[in-house]
Amino acid sequence: MAFGHRVRDERIEKGLTQQQLADAIGVNQPVIGSIESRDSETSKHASKIAAELSVNLDWLLTGKGSKGTLKVASNKATYDSGLSLWDDDTVMSDDDVELPFYSKVQIAAGNGMANDDLKSYRNLRFSKRSLRDANVNSKDAIVVKVTGDSMERLILDGATIAVDTSKAGLPIKDNRIYALETDGDLRCKYIQRVPGGKIKLISENTMYADEVYDMAEFSKLYRIVGWVFWWSTLAKW
């Protein structure tokens, strides 16, 4: 069974229409229809779909491993996640890789924050397969914290993000999220090329105005640290 067929079957099992699933992950209904109808192996929306359908991402993509579905027992909903706990002393599996986590280096999602401690870090584990799927070499990736609200509701204040530093030297891809350094501060913004050889920095939060620079001015003010390929926020009770 293809990835799209698993999406369809889980959506129906959860009692959702294509429109409801599309609304939940922030896309148009034809996107879900296209995913379900073709024999694709993946989608850029896979992680959001897995979260909304309450299934494990690896199972949704491959059909292997723990499905992680909601189960009802004794009138109480329980979640069989298939998750395993680990700490810094846990032996890594063959699919694990550790990325440097710069806990005191914060990429600001608002007005910027001083980058004053590049040596203090611990490691955060990622799946080698996940990095391969994102076309990221672990040697080029770092993990940092975001502060500020200019990228909310997509990337929340306090979120952890992973940056592929190898993309810093490549041509800019429009509407990708980049980590930028400016005068010792680090920022997290969409970058978009605009007519006239200019660069636009865009925030997810519409309360923040777009910033437009010509290339010479942009190069003088900013250094691209890399492409933000992953982000996560751990909610606290």
Phi/psi for 84 (5° steps) reads -125, 140
Nearest CA to 218 among 196, 235, 237? 196
Q: What is the CATH number of domain 96-232?
A: 2.10.109.10
Nearest CA to 144 among 171, 117, 105, 192? 105
- Cα distance between residue 149 and residue 85, in whole Å: 30
pLDDT in tens, 112-145: 655 555 554 678 888 888 899 889 999 999 998 8
Structural domain boundaries of the chain?
A: 3-79, 96-232
For residue 6, the one-letter residue type is: R
Query: What is the structure's pLDDT at 1?
Result: 65
pLDDT, average across residues 213-224: 93
Superfamily of domain 3-79: lambda repressor-like DNA-binding domains (1.10.260.40)
Q: How many CA atoms lie within 13 A of 115 on its CB side?
A: 19
Helices 29-37 and 3-13 sit at what angle, rounded to 10 degrees?
A: 120
As a whole number of angstroms, the longest Cα–Cα distance in the chain is 66
Give residue for tokens 């292997």: 64
Nearest CA to 10 among 64, 40, 47, 54? 54
Query: What is the structure's pLDDT at 179?
Result: 92
Residue 139 per-residue DSSP state: G
Structure tokens at 99: 């990325």
pTM: 0.60
Residue 168 per-residue DSSP state: G
Residue 26 has pLDDT above 80, yes or no: yes
- Cα distance between residue 42 and residue 64, in whole Å: 14
Collapse the DSSP code of 35 into the 3-class scheme (helix H, G, I; strand E, B; otherwise coil) and give the result: helix
Query: What is the structure's pLDDT at 120?
Result: 46
Structure tokens at 199: 């660069």
pLDDT in tens, 67-117: 775 443 434 444 444 445 556 666 676 778 888 887 666 677 766 655 555
